[in-house]
Amino acid sequence: MITAERYLELLDDHLPELVVGAHVYGSQVLGDVVSDSDLDIVIELSAPASLPEVRGADVAAVLAGSLEKPVFDVNPLAGEVTPVLWQQLRTVGQTVRGARPTCPGTAAEVEAYCRENLISYWMPNIEQGRAAMTNWPAGKLVPCEGLLWAGLGPARLWHTIRTGGIVSKSRAGELAAARWPDLAPLIIDLVASRRGEDVPLTVGHLRASVDLFDRILVDLDVTT
């Protein structure tokens, strides 16, 4: 994974004196870096400019001062800004250049965003998994990347809706396993696979991921 320091060196070469703030969030600050983790970073620029594409960097860019505004008042120069991003920056984010931002927002905004995201973003993808497992060949392993993404991602939103806190995918999986012990062995397999262990992932793990999503919706009283 590219480091924040190296990424800023590249930006400074490309955009001299324009980068006035940089704030890291995501797996790097949540202690959940794995082999394919990106650098999640928000960049503040003193003037509008196009950022160079850098492999391994997931970037949002805003004008300086934008992180002192409510998220719905901000038009990003690059990437996407959301209430959950604002929540991460004001709670667990790491400032590597400039002043630490306030990112004003409310718990209600974060919860509403997470609930809507479960339906608009996650549900269609989970339904694809539900359809796929119906005719999945016996003994055929399930591709790791997509399964880990679908199996652990919704649990992060579940935790944030319930508590307001931000946790990593791995920690969200552990918390979901504790909440639903009958699914725990398969969910913990997903966490172990994410952390680099050689765990064969089967249609049983896909079924558990779909089941976990359904239970999350019921637990949160999310209606479709």
- Do 22 and 96 meet the contact criterion of CB atoms below 8 Å apart? yes
Helix (H, G, I), strand (E, B) or coil at 21: strand
Give the model's confidence band at 210: pLDDT under 50 very low, under 70 low, under 90 confident, else very high.
Answer: very high
Tens-digit pLDDT profile for residues 110-153: 999 999 999 999 999 999 999 999 889 988 999 988 999 999 99
Tell me what the pLDDT averaged over the chain comes to: 96
This model's pTM is above 0.75: yes
The residues, ordered by sequence, that sit 6+ positions from 214 with a Cβ below 8 Å of its Cβ are none
% of the chain surpassing 70 pLDDT: 100
- Residues 28, 10 contacting (CB under 8 angstroms): no
Structure tokens belonging to residue 139? 């003994």
Q: What is the pLDDT of residue 103?
A: 98
DSSP conformation class of 164: S
Quote the pLDDT of residue 224.
Answer: 75
Q: Are 111 and 75 in contact (CB under 8 A)?
A: no
Does 65 have pLDDT greater than 80? yes
The per-residue pLDDT for range 68-98, each reduced to its tens digit, is 999 999 999 999 999 999 999 999 999 999 9
